[in-house]
Amino acid sequence: MSGIPKIILATPPETAAAVTHSGIAAHMSYRIGHGFRLYRSQRASDIRGGFMVLDTSGFTGGGPMASLIADIIGECGKRAFTGIVINAGSYPGSPSQISLSMALAKEALTHSLEYFVPEDLAETGDHTIVRISAAISGGTLTRRLVDAIKKYGTNRLAVEIERVMMDFSLPALSGTGRELSNNEFRALIDRHNPKSFFSPELMVNYFTYHDNHSTHFVLHDNAETLQRKLKSVSDMGSTYAFLFYPRIADIFGEIFTDSNP
C-alpha cells in the first residue's frame, strides 16, 4: 500500500458532527450569490475546522471581485478552515468560473489553503488539487486512476468516490442511467430479489432484472465495494479521497471499520 489517502467527507451543516472523527469535514454551507456576495447557511456559525465547500455555480462575472475574494479568505480564517472545495456546477470551464478560480487559487496559495477544483479548472493554478470521479460505466477504474496520476501527479489528485446506485435500460446507448435513491434501490431489491455480482473492472456490484418486457442493468455500491475503491486509491498513492456523507449515512459505520484502508 503506497499510503493512506486523506478522507474528506462532504456534508451539509446539520450532519457535520457525525463525521468529525472519521475524516475531514467539507462543509457544504457556502455559495456565491447576486452582487458578488458570499452567502452562508444559517448554521454556518456553528462549524469550525475542515474545508469550505463553495458553490460558485451562480457566479456570472462582470463585476468587482476583490471584496468577494477577501470575504471568502476571511471566512476561512474565521472558521479555521484549511481548504476550499469549488463546486462550479454544470459549466465549470466558463470564462467567469476560470477567472474566479484563478483569483482564488492565488489567494489560497498565499494563505496556505488547500484548493480543490473540478477537472475543467485544473489549470487555474499551479497548486490546484484536481477532483476526478471514480464512478465509471466503462473501461476500468485502475486505468482511470493511472491516467489521472500521469496527468496531475498523486499530490494534485483527489478522487471522488460516489456511492453508485444507477439503473440502465438496455441497450444503454447514452452510457448513463437513472440514479436511484436509497428507498428506490431497496424497493427494487425487495421486488425482484436479484443476485448481484462484483465487477473488478468497475469495482462495483451489478445485477440485471426484467420489467415490463424490458431488461435493466443496475450498478450499485455497498460498504465493501466502497472500501475496495478506497483501497485502490490508497494503493495508487493518491493523496485525497472524497465521499458524500448523506449518500453513505446508512452504511457509514460499515465503511469506516478497522479493516478500512
Amino acid at position 75, single letter: E
Measure CA 232 to chain center: 16
Q: Compute how many other C-beta atoms are within 10 angstroms of the C-beta atom of residue 130.
A: 21
Whether pTM > 0.85 for this model: the answer is yes
| 195-204 long-range contacts, CB within 8 A, separation 24+ | 196/220, 198/225, 201/139, 201/140, 201/141, 202/136, 202/137, 202/140, 202/141, 203/134, 203/141, 203/228, 203/229, 203/232, 204/164
pLDDT in tens, the chain (261 residues): 345 688 999 998 777 666 766 689 999 999 998 778 899 988 777 788 999 999 999 888 877 789 999 999 999 999 999 999 999 988 888 999 999 999 999 999 999 999 999 999 999 999 999 999 887 767 788 899 999 999 999 999 999 999 999 999 887 766 678 999 989 999 999 999 999 999 999 899 999 999 888 899 999 999 999 999 999 999 988 889 999 999 999 998 898 874 444
How distant, in Å, are the alpha carbons of 99, 117, 135, 237 from that of 104? 9, 11, 28, 27
Grid coordinates in use for 173? 446507448
Question: How far is 201 from 127, CA to CA, in rounded Å?
Answer: 31
